[in-house]
Chains A and B, each alone.
Chain A
Amino acid sequence: GAGVSQSPSNKVTEKGKDVELRCDPISGHTALYWYRQSLGQGLEFLIYFQGNSAPDKSGLPSDRFSAERTGGSVSTLTIQRTQQEDSAVYLCASSLAGPYGEAFFGQGTRLTVV
């Protein structure tokens, strides 16, 4: 595809359930970011993958959150035992040159925990 693709676009889940959010970055992009944005708030950095380096997990808010990137391409963000405060738009971005170049964002997954 031409851009960063995220799925699903919307997800409603019950409190306590686990969810998986998927990000397909632009082909060849070595850097991949996850952010979340609560309603009316700014972007909160979650995790950053750069090539084969260990991911920067410094933004993950709790151990309920984890992410992996398989084969240097697709990434999955997993939230275990979801809470209502996890409701937000989760955005993924990829970049060819890591933090030195342009990052392209997907349209996000809107997660609602009820």
Chain B
Amino acid sequence: DAKTTQPNSMESNEEEPVHLPCNHSTISGTDYIHWYRQLPSQGPEYVIHGLTSNVNNRMASLAIAEDRKSSTLILHRATLRDAAVYYCILSGNTPLVFGKGTRLSVIA
């Protein structure tokens, strides 16, 4: 019972912005939107999370639709080190459950 829908894969050129979409039409009012990524042969790492307002940190920006039924993770300048699987996860008072994510390839 996946709560989020993401494209299986995306491709980006190095040093260009990347917009990774996530649909979550059944989101509840208390669900936070989390993004994690998993680099090859590593454990997942936190990227960003938010509830209603857009969020920015040193890694990325999170744009949340006004109805909260979708969100977009924005990498402002993709580098080769950003090649990873990106996971969009909803979590209220429930554990983080990972879906299949989006595999991002970055082309030099």
Contacts and interface: CB of A to CB of B under 8 A. Distances in A.
A83 B95 CA distance: 26
Interface string A75-114: 0000000000000000101000011111111111000000
Given A42-B100, A99-B32, A100-B32, A107 B43 contact: yes
Name the residue among B43, B44, B95, B100 with the largest chain A CB count within 10 angstroms.
Answer: B95
A104 to B, nearest CB: 7
A48 B94 CA distance: 9
Contact of B44 (A56, A98, A105): A105
Interface residues of A, number: 21
Given A105-B45, A106-B43, A42 B91 contact: no
A109 to B, nearest CB: 11
A98 B95 CA distance: 8
B95 A42 contact: no
Given A33-B95, A99-B91, A100-B91, 7 more contacts: A42-B85, A45-B98, A48-B95, A93-B44, A99-B92, A99-B94, A103-B46
Chief secondary structure at chain B's binding surface: loop
B97 to A, nearest CB: 5
A65 interface: no
B92 to A, nearest CB: 7
Given A102-B46, A102-B49, A105-B43, A43 B98 contact: yes
A99 B93 contact: yes
Contacts of B43: 91, 93, 105-108
Nearest to B48: A102
B21 interface: no
A5 to B, nearest CB: 12
A63 to B, nearest CB: 20
| Closest CB pairs A-B (n = 8) | A105-B43, A48-B95, A99-B91, A43-B98, A102-B46, A45-B97, A105-B44, A42-B100
Contacts of B99: 42
B44 A45 contact: no
Contacts of B87: 43
21 contacts: A33-B95, A33-B96, A42-B99, A43-B38, A45-B97, A56-B94, A56-B95, A99-B32, A99-B91, A99-B95, A99-B96, A100-B32, A101-B49, A102-B46, A103-B46, A103-B96, A104-B46, A105-B44, A105-B45, A107-B42, A107-B43
